Amino acid sequence: MPAASARCATGATGCSLPPERPSTYLRTGDPAFDGLFETVRSFLEQDVMELVVDGRRVSGFRTPDARSIWIRDHGDMLRMGRYFHADPTSIVEHFAETQSATGRIFDYVTTFPEKLPCERENWTKYVRVPVEADVEYRFVKAAWLAWQATGDDDWLRRHLPAMDRALRYIMRHPWYWDAELDLVKRAYTIDTWDFAYTAGRHDWLQFQIDDQTFWGIMHGDNSGYYEAFRILGQLYAHVGDSPQAVYWTRQAEGLRARANEICWNGTFYTHFVKRTPVGIGGVDEASQLSLSNPIDINRGLADRAQAVSILEEYRRRREATTAFAEWFSIDPPFPDGVFGDDKLVGGAYVNGGIMPLVGGELARAAFEHGFESYGVEILKQYWELIGTAQATYLWYFPDGRPASVEASTSPEAQPTDGWGSSAMLYALVEGLAGIADEGRGFDRLRLSPRWPAAGIRSVDVRLAYAASGAAAGYTYRADASQITLDVEAPPNADLRLHLLLPDGQTVVGVTAAGRLTSHQTRVVGSSVYVDLDLEVNEAGKVAVVVGVASEPSAS
């Protein structure tokens, strides 16, 4: 662990010894879920990369296709990686330190030669891809996740200015902000990827902005900034800056309303709303379902009706496709090679490849919006894909063949892809197990156990941040007459419980800490949940017992 980030188990800085590894586990008795948890843990531990920059060690999660730390990959992987890696902060600090005066954030940093054998220099290299509009929101998200894991409010206060500058940069830069629509814009890329369509005017992949750039609005950028604006509002509120909290919250609300007005097509989010007229022959662009759609749900851009519509669209395409899964990067794909590289055929990489990162986001959205069985199906299908081989890739061909160096524009194709695998673990942990930190260090905890959807009656689960040791978890036991939840959380934590009932059962009473407790019954789709708010006691424990009974049959 980098010395600059070493912490005692209490979270205090300056300790000479690293903390003991906290106990993080999932035990259900089902090898699909238990195996998935441990296998992805292994992938993420292998994906940690350490660099020495200016004499200081920094570490983060590496991209699966190059020896570099991209803030986008790291930020997504950190959602789950922070339970296994004790340094969530150093790479965020480094991106903040190298931020430009305008607020711009670099895409990635590396000290390894990237284009072997022609490139051999081990210099320190920073890159910003001009066509990408998503970098700054990913920096804000990574900083927020790091703060949750450390619980360090002083660290947060030091980095809030960089987070603020990053978001204001996007709102001011003519390459990234459409002043007429008040939305984030970008060059015509495939969803959030980093090369633009040029109508054949460039001889390879186009990463630059020029006077022939085709402009438009991509929904995933706007959902990312909606979430980042919301995060910044919450963080300013946490440190007591009410004016800035109100400002960023209002910015988030306005962006969400405008994005839904412009990007929603009635069924899902249109891939690219064009601001420069251009057409690509050989594909029905209006029918293209792109990878940020389920992510939009999880970021909160979509309301409940929109989320249901997107999920139903994926299920319809699942029935219609010949691909082994509906986790499309984009569907239907663009014609072969039109983005400048002959390897970008339909079904390859981001041009219609099947991506576990999409499947994980899709499963997470399914669990939240009443499609719990669908979420379980996705997780089990992914385990079947990776379990025997103990290998996972960023993308697969529709027939199930994994990515390879020969078939990709990327220089490597590692079998420990943490981007997609961590998205699947995200669905398992926050979706099926239902543990989500809504504060920092689990001081505001949402528990949404959905085990009846998987037919699981006995669970032991515990998550602990490797940086601070802050932990939350529960034991879950269910039988025909009751569901018992013994919760562990930080002392006096606020707990929101959202507990899925088995099909055909109803609540006859709820006790918490041995006392009869008021509750609400909430219906999500065809699923029934028990909702109640509690405070964990000073010992960090609370027991909840939900008495259940079979609903009477309709006469």
Q: Over the stretch 499-530, which tens digit does the pLDDT of each residue have?
A: 999 999 999 999 999 999 999 999 999 999 99
How many C-alpha atoms does 513 have within 13 Å on its Cβ side? 12
Same-domain check for residues 362 and 448: no
Contacts of 118 (CB under 8 A, 6+ apart): none
Closest by Cα among 374, 316, 324, 318 to 347: 324
Same-domain check for residues 45 and 148: yes
Beta-bridge partners for 184: 177
- Here the CATH number for the domain that contains residue 537 is 2.60.40.1180
- Here the CATH number for the domain that contains residue 242 is 1.50.10.10
Q: Is residue 253 part of a domain?
A: yes
How, if at all, do strands 183-184 and 177-178 pair? antiparallel
Is there a contact between 244 and 236 (Cβ–Cβ < 8 Å)?
yes
How, if at all, do strands 444-447 and 435-437 pair? antiparallel
Q: What is the pLDDT of residue 6?
A: 34
How many C-alpha atoms does 192 have within 13 Å on its Cβ side? 23
Q: What is the pLDDT of residue 238?
A: 98
**DSSP string of 454-507, one letter each residue:** GT--EEEEEEE-TTT--EEEEEEEE-SSEEEEEEE-STT-EEEEEEEPPTTEEE
The CA distance from 108 to 81, in Å, is 18
Same-domain check for residues 275 and 326: yes
Same-domain check for residues 375 and 522: no
**Do you know the residue count of the chain?**
555
Which residue among 397, 412, 432 closes a domain?
432
Written as tens digits, the pLDDT of the chain (555 aa) is: 333 333 333 333 333 444 454 599 999 999 999 999 999 999 999 999 999 999 999 999 997 778 899 999 999 999 999 999 999 999 999 999 999 999 999 999 999 988 777 888 889 999 999 999 999 999 999 999 999 999 999 999 999 999 999 999 999 999 999 999 999 999 999 999 999 999 999 999 999 999 999 999 999 999 999 999 999 999 999 999 999 999 999 999 999 999 999 999 999 999 999 999 999 999 999 999 999 999 999 999 999 999 999 999 999 999 999 999 999 999 999 999 999 999 999 999 999 999 999 999 999 999 999 999 999 999 999 999 999 999 999 999 999 999 887 877 666 678 999 999 999 999 999 999 999 999 999 999 999 999 999 999 999 999 999 999 999 999 999 999 999 999 999 999 999 999 999 999 999 999 999 999 999 999 999 999 999 999 999 888 999 999 999 987 554
Beta-bridge partners for 533: 496
Q: Is 317 left (phi over 0), alpha (psi -120 to 50) or beta?
A: alpha
Q: Is residue 370 part of a domain?
A: yes
Q: Which helix (H) or strand (E) holds 27?
A: strand 25-27
Is there a contact between 84 and 56 (Cβ–Cβ < 8 Å)?
no
Same-domain check for residues 221 and 298: yes
The CA distance from 533 to 541, in Å, is 14
Q: Is residue 439 part of a domain?
A: no
Beta-bridge partners for 110: 125
Q: Is residue 7 part of a domain?
A: no
Q: Over the stretch 303-317, which tens digit does the pLDDT of each residue have?
A: 999 999 999 999 999
Is there a contact between 376 and 364 (Cβ–Cβ < 8 Å)?
no
The single-letter code of the amino acid at 7 is R
Which residue among 432, 456, 488 closes a domain?
432
Read off the pTM. Answer: 0.94
The CA distance from 286 to 266, in Å, is 12
Q: Which helix (H) or strand (E) holds 368?
A: helix 356-368
Same-domain check for residues 500 and 387: no
Question: What interhelical angle do 372-386 and 418-426 show, nearest 10?
Answer: 150
**Which strands sit side by side in the sheet containing 215-217, from one edge to the other?**
186-187, 215-217, 273-274
First to last CA, the chain: 64
Q: What is the pLDDT of residue 553?
A: 54
Which residue among 384, 403, 432 closes a domain?
432
Q: What is the pLDDT of residue 20?
A: 53
Torsion of CA 490, 30, 397, 49, to 10 degrees: 40
Same-domain check for residues 396 and 492: no
Same-domain check for residues 390 and 424: yes
Q: Is residue 87 part of a domain?
A: yes
The single-letter code of the amino acid at 92 is V
Same-domain check for residues 369 and 506: no
Residue 135, CA distances (Å) to 69, 97, 114, 372, 418 in order = 13, 15, 21, 32, 19
Tokens 């430009």 belong to: 100
Q: What is the pLDDT of residue 314?
A: 98
Q: Kindly state the DSSP code that residue 429 receives in the 8-state scheme.
A: I
Neighbours of 384 (CB within 10 A): 10
Same-domain check for residues 470 and 416: no
The CA distance from 275 to 310, in Å, is 24
**233: domain range?**
20-432
**Peptide bond just before 2 cis, omega within 30 deg:** no
- The C-alpha angle with vertex 31 and arms to 26 and 34, in degrees rounded to 5, equals 15
Q: Is residue 344 part of a domain?
A: yes
Same-domain check for residues 471 and 412: no
Q: What is the pLDDT of residue 350?
A: 96
Q: How far is CA 192 from the centre of its chain?
A: 14
Q: Is residue 14 part of a domain?
A: no
Q: What is the pLDDT of residue 528?
A: 97
The CA distance from 425 to 410, in Å, is 25
Long-range Cβ contacts of 121-128 (<8 Å, 24+ apart): 124/51, 124/53, 124/54, 125/68, 126/98, 128/104
Is there a contact between 59 and 2 (Cβ–Cβ < 8 Å)?
yes
The single-letter code of the amino acid at 156 is L
Same-domain check for residues 247 and 336: yes
Counting the structural domains of the chain, the total is: 2
**DSSP string of 379-402, one letter each residue:** HHHHHHHHTTTT-B-S-B-TTSPB
Q: Is residue 388 part of a domain?
A: yes
What is the C-alpha radius of gyration for the chain, rounded to an integer number of angstroms? 23
